[in-house]
Amino acid sequence: MLVPAVAWAAEEGGEGGGIMNAIAEFFDAGGPFIYVNCITLAWGIAIIIERIIFIFFRYNVNADTFMAQIQKLVMANDIERAI
Stretches where the chain sits below pLDDT 70 are 1-16
Residue 42 has what pLDDT? 98
Residue 59 has what pLDDT? 80
pLDDT in tens, 5-28: 555 555 655 556 789 998 888 888
CA atoms within 13 A on the CB side of 42: 6
Residue 9 has what pLDDT? 52
At a CB cut-off of 8 Å and minimum separation 6, what does 73 contact?
79, 81, 82
DSSP 8-state secondary structure symbol assigned to residue 54? I
pTM of the model: 0.50
Instruction: Answer yes or no: are the C-beta atoms of 19 and 35 closer than 8 Å.
Output: no
At 78, which amino acid appears?
D
